[in-house]
Amino acid sequence: MPGAPQVSATPLPARLRTAAARFLLPTVLAVSFAVQAVGAFLPSVPLLVASTAVGLAADIALHRWQRSMAAALGKLHATVFVRQVVRDLLMVAGLIRIEDQDYEKKYLALVCGLLVFYALHSACQALAILVRRTRTLPVVTRNIDASALRLSAAPPALLMSRSGQRLLLFGLPSAAGLVITAAGGSAWWAAAGIALSVACATVAVGMLATRLSRGRRPVTSEQALEWFEAWLAEYRPTVGMYFSGGTSSAYQANMWLEPLARLEGRPVIVLRERFMVKHIASTDIPIVCLPKVADLMRLEQSTLKTLIHPSNSGKTSQVLRIPTIKHAFVNHGESDKLSSCNPYAKAYDEVWVAGPAARERYALAAVGVDDRDVVEIGRPQLDAIEPYSGAPAGPYTTVLYAPTWEGWDGNPGNTSVVEAGENIVRALLADPRVRLLYKPHPLTGSVDPRAGAANTRIQEMIRAANAVRAAEHAAERPAPTAAAELARRTAELDALTTSSFRASADDAERMLVQTVPAPGRAAAVAAATAAWEAAYWASFPAWEHRIVVGARPNVYACFNRADLLVSDVSSVISDYLASEKPYAVANTSGLSEQDFRDTFPTVRAGVVLTPDAAGVPALLETVREPEKDPFAGARSELKQHLLGPSDPPSVVRFDEAARALCAAADGHRAGMALRALPVIPAQREAAATPDAEHARG
């Protein structure tokens, strides 16, 4: 059927192999137990020894590479503890069957030794929970000198949080001793192995028990909160960013780090989830995490005046209760989707948007946001995007395909990955002069499995195309020093962004506390990032397609390398328009092209692609021959409509908006203070005079 999306040619067995690999280790475990039971019943020494070794190896591999599957087995009550007990007891049963004389003297002691080992393992787990509770403080920080809290290094993770791995590791000596005994050795081998396992568990119990002594405990929760309030009083923050969400949403906060650091005043970042502390990118800004609402309310007595919010979350309503702080919703991106004019925005004091288009969007949506509360600030994080310079300079046209994710509402027009992604990529790969950069949204496949499967197939297509090109351009490879330079720059950047972290008292979630960074750290990170990006692009040949799924390089760095963007209706288009380069939008909504353009204004300066991607060759021609580009003038006009004027710069407007909202917070606090003053009798009499009544009127 013309225009219908093509079905992927990826063979079904490849998908089956992926599913089979997921269940391989659990299957091996189940078979090993069955074979071990048969070996113990017959009895058969080879079966008993082989099944025990295979089962133990599979269990260790499961905890090393498939922790989610290990957790799923635990929900079925087949925990690692149960598996280890069954494995050991089957070994003992097999030994009894192999040599059924004097087993009371030889093997009853072994069973008792194993029971002691299991008891010590349980005691170790109980102590780990107690130690974790004493070390979990109500506040987690980064970029703050926390030396006053006298935080000590956490016990090894093997003792604190990896109970399954601990049991398997400490149980190795006993398992080895039992196997040697079953293979014809003396029962003393089993006794020695069990004794060694008991000794390891005893040492672990002792190490954790000492952590509960009064001298080894960290500060109490109240002492930690007192320290935090003292830090607030000394630092006197004025403006900050509030963020709550899952690990995959950290990018929403990270894109505002640099603009926040440029604001006048003393910025701070307020988080709610402990795990999020380590997912915030490198920054000099102090970071505090306050998981409990009661502790969050302590900000009411601080000097903090304004908080910006890159996203909405269930916990946002909790901080909005603080009356002394003004709140501005800045969003993590703007598009024509309904999510960019969410009714929740009316809960904030102000809504900061990029340009007139967003203001119009809120007015048309009629979601209760007063136009007087909408402030146009531009997009301050787009300063690094380079402007359009004409046709591609090299032999290859670099195309960035950056589709968004499927969203929560199931609208087929949200993402092009499912219906058009493979066709778009296939058409781009068919052009020998195209170098493709594929950067899918981090949440792709999180709601619709079809999107995740299509994303996987697209990446397989790109790898296959690279293999063909590698054979054609075998002599065109970067110098060997390029890879070494990238490794050096990666190590340098990692050292600046991670090496100053140290274990904190909140090791229950393995959080991180960072001391005050050296002056100029942000500038050093920026320089190291630029050097890393240069090394990254130089590390592969110009003809090689790239799959960009990590945090580096970010989408803005990809913008600067691209000659053309292909995307969906999303904030990626609005941000890309800062460069005024050509772009195309995939239409998988089912609307006609004209209705699609009318419904989504950000599309009006770009090419619309149908799901079959038939328009890709003509699109590439307009990029290579700018005189054939019909949208050049429209892009300049749309850029101003979406992002606002270039003068004054966005960073200036962002700072002006922050200072104005801080001034409003000062006025609100002053009014609260006046209303809280007691009214003395003389004031009542003065207020009752006719002149006073006239003045009030």
Name, of 297-306, 515-524, 665-674, the range with top average pLDDT: 297-306
The verdict on residue 141 lying in a domain is no
Q: Which of 620, 643, 666 is the last residue of a domain?
A: 643
3-state SS of 326-341 is EEEECCCCCCCCHHHH
Q: What's residue 104's pLDDT?
A: 59
Q: Looking at the 3D structure of the chain, how many domains does it have?
A: 4
Domain extent, residue 524, equals 478-540
* pTM of the predicted structure, to 2 decimals: 0.77
Q: For residue range 562-601, list pLDDT tens digits in order.
A: 999 999 999 899 999 999 999 999 999 999 999 999 999 8
The verdict on residue 15 lying in a domain is no
- Given a contact cutoff of 8 angstroms between Cβ atoms, the answer to whether 400 and 439 are in contact is yes
Q: Is 176 helix (H, G, I), strand (E, B) or coil?
A: helix
Task: Say whether both 526 and 654 belong to one domain.
Answer: no
Task: Say whether both 570 and 454 belong to one domain.
Answer: yes
Q: For residue range 32-61, list pLDDT tens digits in order.
A: 999 999 998 888 989 989 999 999 999 999
The verdict on residue 227 lying in a domain is no
Residue type, 430: A
Greater confidence, 586 or 393? 586
* Confidence band of 522 (pLDDT split at 50, 70, 90): low
Tokens of 376: 């146009």
The verdict on residue 1 lying in a domain is no
Torsion sign across C-alpha atoms 474, 478, 484, 489: negative
**What is the helix (H) or strand (E) element at residue 436, kind and residue range?**
strand 434-438
Residue closest to 334 by CA, chosen among 367, 306, 310 = 310
Residue closest to 327 by CA, chosen among 306, 343, 312, 301 = 306
Task: Say whether both 639 and 654 belong to one domain.
Answer: no
Task: Say whether both 522 and 429 belong to one domain.
Answer: no
The verdict on residue 426 lying in a domain is yes
Q: What's residue 102's pLDDT?
A: 56
Q: Which phi and psi (to 5°) does residue 369 adopt?
A: -85, 120
Query: What distance in Å separates the CA atoms of residue 330 and residue 243, rounded to the nearest whole number?
Result: 12
Q: Is 503 helix (H, G, I), strand (E, B) or coil?
A: strand
Q: What is the DSSP string of 274-297?
A: GGGGGGSPS-SS-EEE--SHHHHG
Task: Say whether both 436 and 584 belong to one domain.
Answer: yes
DSSP strands (E only) in 238-321 = 239-243, 267-271, 287-289, 306-309
Q: What's residue 229's pLDDT?
A: 95
Question: In this predicted structure, which of 430-434, 443-447, 473-477, 554-558 has the lowest mean pLDDT?
Answer: 473-477
The CATH number covering residue 427 comes to: 3.40.50.2000
- Given a contact cutoff of 8 angstroms between Cβ atoms, the answer to whether 585 and 607 are in contact is yes
User: Average of pLDDT values for 187-203?
Assistant: 94
- Given a contact cutoff of 8 angstroms between Cβ atoms, the answer to whether 542 and 395 are in contact is yes
Residue type, 598: D
User: Average of pLDDT values for 219-244?
Assistant: 94
User: Average of pLDDT values for 255-279?
Assistant: 92
Task: Say whether both 332 and 441 belong to one domain.
Answer: no
Beta bridge partner(s), residue 464: none
User: Average of pLDDT values for 151-169?
Assistant: 88
The verdict on residue 496 lying in a domain is yes
* Confidence band of 18 (pLDDT split at 50, 70, 90): low
Greater confidence, 307 or 148? 307
Q: What's residue 198's pLDDT?
A: 97
Query: What distance in Å separates the CA atoms of residue 655 and residue 641, rounded to the nearest whole number?
Result: 21
Q: What's residue 217's pLDDT?
A: 77
User: Average of pLDDT values for 421-425?
Assistant: 97
- Given a contact cutoff of 8 angstroms between Cβ atoms, the answer to whether 138 and 225 are in contact is yes
Whether 693 has a pLDDT exceeding 70, the answer reads no
Give the pairing of strands 434-438 and 607-609: unpaired
Task: Say whether both 265 and 278 belong to one domain.
Answer: yes
Q: What is the DSSP string of 439-480?
A: ---TTTTSS-HHHHHHHHHHHHHHHHHHHHHHHHTTT----H
Q: Which of 514, 540, 566 is the last residue of a domain?
A: 540
